[in-house]
């Protein structure tokens, strides 16, 4: 199905904690399609017609990283505009726990590797800006809806980590 650029896209993503201690999360190494630069990201993708949000985030974890997740809970939601695609998006973010399967590359066109790291290690890596926010939110325990009333343009390229994210 070809997306309608007049309608917002809806995506899901998840912080996947390795265990209840929440000391390590799953992160994938891929590339920025525009620049081919290396970039790290959480498992996530589009919400498919006919599935629940929980089914979508579980499917994305399985399709992208080969892992099962459980105890999926809402973390936050963002609306943003992707200038590179000239399209608005709503991204719904969850946190969950690893329930099985060894992380592995399932979509070689998108990721080169998957691995466990601490949140602080993750924040020191080149990340998509929204993944950086997702990790910070998961670390803080804050659950709320974020909206940008002016629907500002979000630069989806990685940036140098800043203090206080």
Go through the domains of the chain in sequence order and give each one's CATH number. 9-142 (3.90.79.10)
Contact present, 41 and 127 (Cβ < 8 Å): yes
The structure's pTM equals 0.81
- Give the model confidence (pLDDT) of 113-151 as tens digits: 999 999 999 999 999 888 888 888 888 765 444 444 333
| Averaged confidence pLDDT in the chain | 83
**DSSP symbol at 141:** T
DSSP string over 3-34: --TTS-EEEEEEEEESSTT---EEEEEEE-TT
For residue 33, the tally of other CB atoms under 10 A from its CB is 12
* pLDDT band, residue 13 (cuts 50/70/90): very high
- Return d(Cα 141, Cα 153) in angstroms, integer: 26
DSSP string over 81-135: EETTTTEEEEEEEEEEEEEE-----S-TTTEEEEEEE-HHHHHTS-B-HHHHHHH
């Amino acid at each position: 199905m070809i997306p309608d650029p007049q309608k917002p896209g809806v995506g899901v993503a998840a912080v996947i904690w390795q265990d209840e201690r929440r000391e390590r999360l799953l992160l994938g190494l891929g590339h920025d399609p525009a620049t081919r630069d290396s970039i790290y990201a959480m498992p996530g993708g589009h919400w498919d017609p006919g599935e629940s949000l929980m089914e979508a985030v579980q499917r994305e974890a399985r399709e992208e990283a080969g892992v099962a997740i459980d105890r999926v809970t809402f973390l936050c939601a963002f609306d943003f505009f992707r200038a590179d695609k000239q399209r608005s998006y709503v991204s719904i973010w969850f946190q969950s726990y690893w329930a099985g399967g060894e992380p592995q590359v399932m979509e070689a066109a998108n990721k080169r590797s998957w691995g466990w790291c601490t949140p602080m290690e993750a924040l020191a890596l080149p990340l998509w800006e929204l993944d950086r926010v997702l990790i910070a939110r998961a670390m803080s325990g804050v659950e709320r809806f974020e909206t940008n009333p002016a629907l500002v343009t979000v630069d989806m390229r990685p940036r140098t980590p800043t203090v206080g994210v």
